């Protein structure tokens, strides 16, 4: 099978970008990625975005954004899997190169969440409309129920949840693109206003605008460019029933566990061989459960592990050196791509003060809704 490499990365700052529209943000990120790649051609593009229709009343964004990039005419497609839209866009680009249909593909993600739409409602469309959202449960509410069940089954505490936010903020301070570059304390998290018990405002990733893009091509072509690049060892997409109440164990994210097992098997790797991971910490509890599903710790032991510093930069397996969704921001469709960018930077050695020494193999785990879909990529650095 052809090897696919990431040769260019680009993103906007994440935050409340009042001056930038959806099309403007995407164009900025895409141009940066293309410039970074040094290539002068794009054969096709995939854009991940959860709901440009609900957020800015714009569908048909594939031709719109291709045109904005001066690329009207090339094949372009919008892909969606709620918060896993970005990861899915990269996967589709990867598959298109593997199939031989294209040589150089742009994969980007974008979300414009601050233009005045009902964000809580828009995000709730990732849940089961008729049997979850209809009853008033919100996206944070679903994760809050996962948290409650996890606390009940394993004794996980609010302090342990808070520590995830503290760690990710400590990482994010060193990320120039992050929405929040401020330290966080457990106390501040515990005292933040309640969103859905037991999750407070500081347990939740923010509402953000932003875009991120990567340029993919064959490893063959990447080699010829003469600079360090990252190869995609494996790309996995697993779906699960989208309603939380349909999962056997509410305190779990089975799609993530399945995706991780498939990814390890396809890449011939074990969790111990990962040097750095970006996980989908839409809420603090998500990072804890994902750690267990990825096999980094035994079920129920993620809370104590985070407290002990296992996943902090410098620890046994750094998680979310970018600052995670919590500190970096979470423009929904862009997140999956931004995670892959962080891993690519780590593997290229260009992560600055966030650098994990000798990072060779990294994973990006992107997830939709309350775990209805999971896209995982494992990347390997090549010089």
Partner 1 sequence: MIVPRYTREIPQRFRLEAAECTGCGKIVFPPRRICPKCRGKTFSPRNLSREGKILSYTVIHVAAEPFELQIPFAVGIIETPEGARLTAQIVDCDFSELAIGTRVRLVMRKIQQEGHAGILLYGYKAVLER
Whether 150 is a known active-site residue: answer no
Query: Active-site residue among 169, 280, 330, 377?
Result: 330
Closer residue to partner 1 (CB): 118 or 220: 118
Q: Measured in whole angstroms, how far is the alpha carbon of residue 133 from the centre of its chain? A: 23
Nearest distance from residue 193's CB to partner 1, in Å? 7
Here the tokens at position 304 are 């104590």
Of 312, 315, 218, 322, nearest to 280 by C-alpha is 322
Nearest distance from residue 72's CB to partner 1, in Å? 37
Closer residue to partner 1 (CB): 23 or 330: 330
Question: Which chain residues interact with partner 1 by CB under 8 A?
Answer: 118, 120-121, 124, 128, 130-138, 140-141, 144-149, 152, 193-199, 241, 243-246, 250-251
Of 16, 27, 3, 61, nearest to 330 by C-alpha is 16
Whether 330 is a known active-site residue: answer yes
Query: Active-site residue among 83, 204, 282, 374?
Result: 83
- Given a contact cutoff of 8 angstroms between Cβ atoms, the answer to whether 83 and 335 are in contact is yes
Q: Where are the alpha helices (DSSP H) in 173-214?
A: 186-191
Closer residue to partner 1 (CB): 45 or 195: 195
51, burial (CB in 10 Å: exposed 0-12, middle 13-18, buried 19+): buried
208: DSSP letter: -
Closer residue to partner 1 (CB): 91 or 158: 158
Q: Report how far residue 194's alpha carbon sits from residue 198's, in angstroms, rounded to the nearest whole number.
A: 7
DSSP-based three-state secondary structure for 131: coil
Name the residues annotated as catalytic.
83, 330
């Amino acid at each position: 099978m052809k090897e696919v490499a990431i040769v260019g990365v680009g993103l906007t700052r994440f935050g409340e970008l009042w001056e930038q529209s959806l099309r403007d943000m995407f164009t900025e990120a895409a141009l940066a990625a293309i410039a970074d790649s040094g290539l002068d051609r794009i054969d096709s593009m995939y854009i991940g975005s959860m709901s440009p229709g609900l957020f800015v009343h714009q569908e048909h964004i594939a031709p719109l954004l291709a045109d904005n990039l001066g690329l009207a005419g090339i094949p372009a497609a919008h892909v969606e899997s709620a918060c896993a839209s970005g990861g899915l866009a990269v996967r589709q680009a990867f598959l298109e190169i593997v199939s031989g249909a294209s040589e150089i593909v742009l994969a980007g993600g974008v979300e414009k969440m601050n233009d005045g739409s009902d964000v809580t409602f828009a995000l709730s469309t990732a849940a089961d409309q008729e049997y979850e959202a209809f009853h008033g449960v919100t996206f944070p509410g679903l994760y809050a129920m996962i948290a409650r069940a996890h606390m009940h089954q394993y004794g996980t505490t609010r302090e342990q949840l808070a520590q995830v936010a503290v760690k990710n903020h400590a990482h994010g301070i060193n990320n120039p693109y992050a929405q929040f570059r401020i330290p966080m304390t457990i106390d501040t998290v515990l005292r933040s206003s309640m969103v859905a018990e037991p999750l407070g405002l500081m347990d939740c990733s923010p509402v953000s605008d932003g875009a991120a893009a990567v340029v993919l091509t064959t490893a063959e072509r990447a080699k010829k460019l003469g600079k360090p690049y990252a190869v995609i060892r494996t790309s996995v997409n697993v779906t699960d029933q989208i309603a939380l109440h349909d999962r056997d164990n509410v305190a779990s994210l089975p799609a993530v566990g399945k995706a991780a097992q498939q990814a390890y098997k396809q890449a011939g790797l074990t969790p111990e061989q990962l040097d750095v991971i970006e996980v989908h910490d839409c809420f603090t509890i998500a990072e804890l459960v994902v750690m267990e599903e990825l096999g980094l710790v035994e079920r129920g032991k993620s809370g104590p592990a985070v407290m002990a510093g296992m996943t902090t930069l410098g620890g046994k397996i750094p998680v979310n050196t970018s600052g995670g969704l919590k500190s970096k921001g979470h423009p929904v469709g862009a997140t999956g791509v931004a995670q892959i960018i962080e891993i690519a930077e780590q593997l290229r050695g260009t992560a600055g003060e966030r650098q994990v020494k000798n990072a060779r193999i990294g994973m990006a785990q992107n997830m939709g809704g309350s775990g209805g879909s999971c896209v995982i990529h494992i990347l390997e650095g090549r010089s």
